[in-house]
Structure 1
Amino acid sequence: MMRPNRKGAGILGVLAVCVITGLTSVACTGSSGSSAAHDPSTFTMGIPAPPISLDIPKDYDQSTTTYVALVTQKLETISATGDLSPQLATAVQQPDDTTLVYTIRGGVKFSDGTPLTADDVAWSIEHDATGSSQLAADLISFGSVSVSGPLQVTVKLSHPDGQMRSLLATTIFVQQAAFAKAHANDLGAPGAAPIGTGPYMFAGNTQQAVTLAANPNYWGAKPKVSKIVMVPVSDDNTAQLAMRSGSMQANLVANLKTAGQYQQISGAKLYPLQANISVNYISLDTQAAPLNDLHVRRAIAHSLDKAGITTAAYGNYAKLLPGLSTTDQLADVSPAKADEDAFLNGLPQYSFDLAKAKQELAQSAYPNGFQLAVSYDSTAPFAELTVLNLQQNMAKIGVTITPKPVTQKQWIAAVYAHKDLGLQLLPFTSAGPDAGSMLVATTAAGNIRPGAFNTANWTTAAVEAADKQLQESSDKAVRWQAVKTILTAIANDLPYIPLQAPDRVLVVAGEFSLTQNQSILDLQTNGTWSEQLTAN
């Protein structure tokens, strides 16, 4: 599911000195600078901005899920390769292609000492999957949920969906139903933080910090660190100063051009995160002039210096995308990586070529140019660089692009409202390592609506059929063909222009370290990263 990344949370990467082979990587350790002594019972980590809400259906953002999942746990966790493991659900049966039956772990208590029940799980699924929930766009095949036994919940699908179990694993955050119902109007706000079963519980939520304390009633192993504090940091320079002083011990690198500076902090360890499932791209509203003209969309594509934008935003720490998926997203459906590369590199490409852009414009309904205002998240460097690049280049062929920087809150509200979308600069993080998550979300007709992410307002009969196959089939060959159908149609019709896939890295300093490298899903979906956190 797309998560609009506040303060560029998705703009992450790895240093060239780190060794990365496939999904296996090693941490790099800094050797100079200073890091003051710190209380090892408290771990402080930077986040891009304060949460909008601690109730994820109101704030489905990857930085927020990083710590909320430590409190409100999942039914199952998902690995970088898509494998599922038990968390609050100890078993899952599928008696038919539209039914999932979850057996809930017994003996689990919420942090207030009350037992976890099937009613809590059923309420949480309903809460996350329906209504105005920002998670609902991922769960379009959800039909209903009911308590079917003392520790059993049954989910019915509206139609077969081979990926629904994985989607429920990544999107459902289980919380105490009684507290949530009592706080129907302010759930997730300061003073009304959800109550969960995880290793931590919320102990404070202000604009200055979100504080988590160890849950005394946790059913699993006792956390090695008793307190986790998440503090907003405005940029990497601020984060580095805080880590040097010892007031902060971890951060996700936002601006990759400053990544090397982290190595100068004594004891800094850089952990590249496995599974690249994030994509930056341009969305073009195919139902509104002038973007409803294919020649205009092609002119825009030929006016983009994607390589220059990527280097300016990320240095060497992002990959240019030939199609609207990363290879890690395709790995679950493709026969082999060689097939992924051959297919993606064989898609129609639109080189940076103003002569071709001018030719396409001449064939459009706007041969003398047009004017287009582009609103974008002012905190996302790749978005600003892309808009400015288009403004400069398209001016040479008679097109006036007017950049309109807005606050992240305004931008998120506009995207979710699904009105006057025009040209959008978007980051998208899939719910898991599967191309279907992003492709269905951005191309299905059912997602042309508020709260959903077909922001191009585009589909075709062939794409709809392929979307249906992606949702309903578990046959790998069928799903691979469906992915190829959709990506080919996108490359031909240009509702979306793929830009780049940023890498990601977590920096941990001071006396803390991770006992093993994490995937992006461990950090931002599963809530399992704290299990590997230890004080030396």
Structure 2
Amino acid sequence: MSRLHRKVALGAALVTLLPAAGAWSQTLSIGLSAEPTSVDPQFHNLSPNAQFADNIFESLVMRVADQSLQPKLAESYKAVDDTTWVFKLREGVTFSDGTPFTARDVIYSICRVPLVENSPSPFTSYTQSIDDIIVGDDNTLTFKTNAPVPLFPVDMGQIAILSASASGAEDAVTFGKDGCTGMGTLPASTAFNDPKVAIGTGPYKIESYAPGGEIVLTENTSYWGEKPDFDRVVMRPITAAGPRVAALLAGDVDLIENPPIQDLKRIEDAGMTVKKALSNRVIYLALSQWGDDVPLIAGTDGKNPLMDKRVREALSLAINREAIVALIMGGYAEAAGELLPPPAPGTTGRKPDAYDPKKAKELLAEAGYPKGFEITIGTPNDRYINDDQVAQAIAQMFSQIGVKTHVDAVTASQFFARRNKQEFPIYLAGWGSSTGETSSPLRALIASYDKAAAMGTTNAARYSNADVDALIHEAVKTVDEDKRNALLQKAETLALDDWGLLPLHYEVTTWAMKPGVDMIARADQMTVASEIMLDTPE
């Protein structure tokens, strides 16, 4: 049944379901596999944060489940020339506290991005191209960029629009590329834990939030868009897979993220529904390449072997990606040879490196490490599907070619903090493309780290290749799609031929839910509460 028909049938469905099930109400309970690290939607560019924030805050444009771009707080947008974009803002929109949404809120939100303190993965790459913002009226904004930015609407889709008034801004906020005026006293990211500060235009608002505990959302009754099926949402972080499945089977939650692959049959046999979707998230290994002072490497006389291209290639050839997909991922993944699943723009159809331990040993010997060395892989143990198990399998594969490998597996919050402090010589992580093309992982993971230029913002391994950088910079300002695609393909090929990082696999995302609940399975892996529906009979 369509969502529209579900809306019409909602009242009847509740009357039907409540007496029979005894547990149904308009409260939805979700078992999260990863807890958001902040309520502040501009603090950490991380999927658990984004999917949580999308219930409360909105952006000018948005990606829907199939990753196509649609207007959101902007009714329309168009490029006037290569460096000028005009956005018409949606009229009649209010924040959840009743204040009207205007151009002032957009300017404030963009101005705040570079001012967020201690951001582990900032949003500056999406705003650094803006030279000026001109206000035509309360509902028209003209953006001038410092170079052609063909994906400017995509970039604006990453910036959550905050309430300038709730954030303490002055009556007039003016954009300046060297500093904005009228910003007032900026709220710290922790201030957004207070529902009075976390004010957005989205379908829900925060009722309560406590790190490590339940997150409770209630319906924003003044929401301008389609009313969600559930007027109250309880998000329960249950990072351990076993307890998460148990909570679903016991009826404590209505839907869970990332049920373990080995439990899917048991879940379906219990009458639950499993949904899946191939994601645009690549799981990869990053190899630290900033010099010889890299921690947790032994047996190399103080050298960093990862600086040698032959060693990086050897490690890639030591990984049996197909075995990992079959035995650890249970077939719920695809072996990766690129930064995005082909045929996404910027991909070439490159195949994964073939498993070849014999050649891997030969390359190590050529590089001067015939007896191998000792190293540690850092990984989260609760962020990606079977992340710890994948890292353990890779450690065994590395050890088989003489590279004695340890695994340091910690919770996601600890992992990202330590990764950003560059405590791991090798780390396992994932990246989902926000642009739908390879420009996203290339800018974030491959480009040389340059905070001022907002390049390499998640390149904690500090891989750097000037030729690749030049291609990325040219690609992101090339408006012609065919030319941009060719540049992205060349940049990706150079980086992968250099084994700058090692793609492992693309995740297939799964969800499990009670009968009577349906959802839109998204390629970006996000669980958006407003897209979870009562599944009423035809």
Query: Where on the TM-score scale, by shorter chain, does this alignment land: which range?
Result: 0.7 to 0.9
Q: Is the 8 A contact 2:318 2:360 kept in 1?
A: yes
Point out 4+ residue stretches in structure 1 off by more than 6 angstroms. Answer: 448-451
CA shift for structure 1 position 111: 1.1
Q: Look up the match of 1:324.
A: 339
CA shift for structure 1 position 72: 0.6
CA shift for structure 1 position 44: 0.7
1:130 and 1:165, CA in 2 relative to 1: closer, same or farther beyond 3 A? Answer: farther
1:461 and 1:241, CA in 2 relative to 1: closer, same or farther beyond 3 A? Answer: closer
Relative CO higher for 1 or 2, CA cutoff 8 Å, sep ≥ 6? 1
The one of 180, 201, 206 equivalent to 1:202 is: 206
Q: Is the 8 A contact 1:98 1:156 kept in 2?
A: yes
- SS of the equivalent of 1:55 reads coil
Matches within 5 A, 1:67-106: 67-79=52-64, 83-106=68-91
CA distance in structure 2 between the partners assigned to 1:307 and 1:482 by the alignment: 29
The one of 45, 48, 52 equivalent to 1:63 is: 48
Q: Is the 8 A contact 1:104 1:118 kept in 2?
A: yes
Q: Look up the match of 2:405.
A: 401
Q: Look up the match of 2:181.
A: none
CA shift for structure 1 position 431: 1.0
CA distance in structure 1 between the partners assigned to 2:54 and 2:247 by the alignment: 25
Q: Look up the match of 1:11.
A: none
Matches within 5 A, 1:204-353: 204-206=208-210, 207-266=212-271, 268-273=272-277, 276-288=279-291, 289-327=304-342, 330-332=343-345, 340-341=348-349, 344-345=350-351, 350-353=353-356
1:396 and 1:213, CA in 2 relative to 1: closer, same or farther beyond 3 A? Answer: closer
CA shift for structure 1 position 511: 3.1
The one of 459, 474, 498 equivalent to 1:493 is: 498
CA distance in structure 2 between the partners assigned to 1:236 and 1:375 by the alignment: 20
1:254 and 1:158, CA in 2 relative to 1: closer, same or farther beyond 3 A? Answer: farther
Q: Look up the match of 2:179.
A: none
- 2:155 is equivalent to residue 167 of structure 1: yes
Write the letter of the residue equivalent to 1:95.
V
Q: Is the 8 A contact 2:317 2:353 kept in 1?
A: yes
1:387 and 1:429, CA in 2 relative to 1: closer, same or farther beyond 3 A? Answer: same
- Number of residues paired by the alignment? 481
Q: Is the 8 A contact 1:51 1:59 kept in 2?
A: no
The one of 500, 518, 523 equivalent to 1:513 is: 518
Q: Is the 8 A contact 2:280 2:507 kept in 1?
A: no
- SS of the equivalent of 1:425 reads strand
- 2:35 is equivalent to residue 50 of structure 1: yes
User: Which ranges of structure 1 fall in alignment gaps of 5 or more residues?
Assistant: 1-34, 335-339
Pick which of 184-193 and 104-113 moved more: 184-193
1:221 and 1:373, CA in 2 relative to 1: closer, same or farther beyond 3 A? Answer: closer
Q: Look up the match of 2:367.
A: 364
Deviations 1:23-72 (CA, angstroms, capped at 9, x unpaired)? xxxxxxxxxxxx95323210111112433211122233322322321211
Q: Look up the match of 1:5.
A: none
The one of 143, 154, 173 equivalent to 1:155 is: 143
User: Which ranges of structure 2 fall in alignment gaps of 5 or more residues?
Assistant: 1-19, 169-184, 292-303
1:446 and 1:372, CA in 2 relative to 1: closer, same or farther beyond 3 A? Answer: closer
Q: Look up the match of 2:426.
A: 423
Q: Is the 8 A contact 2:167 2:187 kept in 1?
A: yes
1:131 and 1:236, CA in 2 relative to 1: closer, same or farther beyond 3 A? Answer: closer
CA distance in structure 2 between the partners assigned to 1:535 and 1:292 by the alignment: 54
CA distance in structure 2 between the partners assigned to 1:256 and 1:437 by the alignment: 29
- SS of the equivalent of 2:392 reads helix
1:414 and 1:97, CA in 2 relative to 1: closer, same or farther beyond 3 A? Answer: farther
Pick which of 62-71 and 236-245 moved more: 236-245
1:242 and 1:220, CA in 2 relative to 1: closer, same or farther beyond 3 A? Answer: same
Q: Is the 8 A contact 1:193 1:202 kept in 2?
A: no
Pick which of 87-96 and 402-411 moved more: 402-411
Q: Is the 8 A contact 1:122 1:153 kept in 2?
A: no
Write the letter of the residue equivalent to 2:395.
Q
CA shift for structure 1 position 396: 4.2
Q: Look up the match of 2:101.
A: 116
Q: Look up the match of 1:29.
A: none
CA distance in structure 1 between the partners assigned to 2:321 and 2:125 by the alignment: 29
Instruction: Tell me the TM-score normalized by structure 1.
Output: 0.82
Pick which of 55-64 and 37-46 moved more: 55-64
Q: Look up the match of 1:177.
A: 164
Q: Is the 8 A contact 2:438 2:488 kept in 1?
A: yes
Q: Look up the match of 2:172.
A: none
- SS of the equivalent of 2:431 reads strand
CA distance in structure 1 between the partners assigned to 2:155 and 2:526 by the alignment: 17
The one of 504, 512, 517 equivalent to 2:509 is: 504
CA shift for structure 1 position 120: 1.0
CA distance in structure 2 between the partners assigned to 1:140 and 1:458 by the alignment: 23
Write the letter of the residue equivalent to 1:511.
G
CA distance in structure 1 between the partners assigned to 2:397 and 2:35 by the alignment: 36
Write the letter of the residue equivalent to 1:433.
G
